[in-house]
Structure 1
């Protein structure tokens, strides 16, 4: 049996041809600064209450929010998503567009405690309504268009309070389009 040394071996190096391709396919890692940390803030609590379904996460009193932000920042967390648990509930979640309501206070407290922390508040009504739905509820239905108007108000309030980004989680058809079409949402700092 003879072996030919004249047949070249073709080595396809397509995965290493350009810097962008190498960046795409190489091994990556992540750190705390790459994650968004949820924070659940409840108005009337006096001490933190663990959330059994989320090990390591607790509902914290509003009075402990600034300390929690300092701790998270020291650990390397750079993004937080505050979820308000309001005790000022009504049928339409009006506390969320009150400039002195829980949503605005959370954002202001976080930014005052640590201006570099990126604040991405949850834009939804479920924890601000008496019925627990994500919008205006009537005759066993969530009313989409009526809810959109209120979500815009909530978004404007969050932006005015200092939110860096919004997390539109109410699941209303057209929420993102309706919200981003508002010039008052993009407040320059």
Structure 2
């Protein structure tokens, strides 16, 4: 007797579907990016990212009340300085905006895991992620300042640092400096496969970090390359990365999947500003069901292999998980 094979039996009702679901979203997977500026009483919406704001430290602490109440375990802090120069001096200033914010956040919310983006692009007058010499972004002098920046964040109280510059050797330089300075317990989440993507546009408005000349293709990865991503990830692991990241997420699900299949390390994926803004705009115009599309997107990123999703939708997702 031939058995009638009917996969739909496991889709018969919602309880059975829940029982056999292969991929799930939990609040523990979420990391919420925040932008902090100097001043007081500032909560400035970013035009290209509806619902996302630049906060002064006092207003950021108010924002984080909700983040903590939703049990989102971690944030990623981006700083926007008042002063920019060719040496990105506020990036590693002990009294810089990120350093001040870290101290305030850890004082108010010690349980919150504070991860910091480590880069120079918000702090350089030219908007590049490294120092410039004769029109070229120079690697090793940039790495020295990037490592100093990471150390200054950790000295302020950061729980984890995330170098995003894509300079060669920066993970190793950060690891050596942290270890030498007594912070061998601090993990590094490396932007290992960060692509020169068109999806970053809204972020560059948010962080005021668009390059003043040229582009970032000489250090960020070519969107056409996947095998190269595995080489970059392998190098970061060899240099001491504890978590590897793929950025952006949606157009690079294949790279996330390759990273998960190849390396036995936690994988993070950054659901970037352009991905956020496209969904947000379509939802605001009534073209899509925003909640359904966001949750499908989060599921896709997790299904591809991401353990951690850095997303501007983190608060929305956390609320929806409570009420589902």
TM over 0.5: yes
Q: Corresponding residue for 1:12? A: none
- Counterpart CA distance in 2 for 1:187 and 1:113 is 25
- Counterpart CA distance in 1 for 2:182 and 2:104 is 19
- Counterpart CA distance in 2 for 1:89 and 1:96 is 9
Point out where structure 2 has 5 or more consecutive residues left out of the alignment: 2-19, 187-324
Runs of 4+ in 1 over 4 A off after TM superposition: none
Q: Corresponding residue for 2:42? A: 47
**Cα distance, 1:185 vs structure 2:** 6.5
**Pairwise mapping of residues 28-67 of structure 1 onto structure 2 (< 5 A)?**
28-44=23-39, 46-67=41-62
Q: 1:86 aligns with which of 81, 89, 96?
A: 81
- Counterpart CA distance in 1 for 2:97 and 2:158 is 13
Task: Determine whether 1:72 maps to 2:67.
Answer: yes
TM (normalized to structure 1)?
0.80
Q: Please say which of residues 97-106 and 113-122 is displaced more in the overlay.
A: 97-106
Q: 1:185 to 1:176 in 2, by over 3 A?
A: farther
TM (normalized to structure 2)?
0.48
Q: Corresponding residue for 1:173? A: 168
Point out where structure 1 has 5 or more consecutive residues left out of the alignment: 4-24
- Counterpart CA distance in 2 for 1:63 and 1:130 is 27
- Counterpart CA distance in 2 for 1:28 and 1:126 is 36
Q: CA RMSD in A?
A: 2.2
Are 2:32 and 2:74, in contact at CA under 8 Å, matched by a contact in 1?
A: yes
Are 1:65 and 1:109, in contact at CA under 8 Å, matched by a contact in 2?
A: no
Higher CA-based Rg? 1
**Cα distance, 1:104 vs structure 2:** 0.9
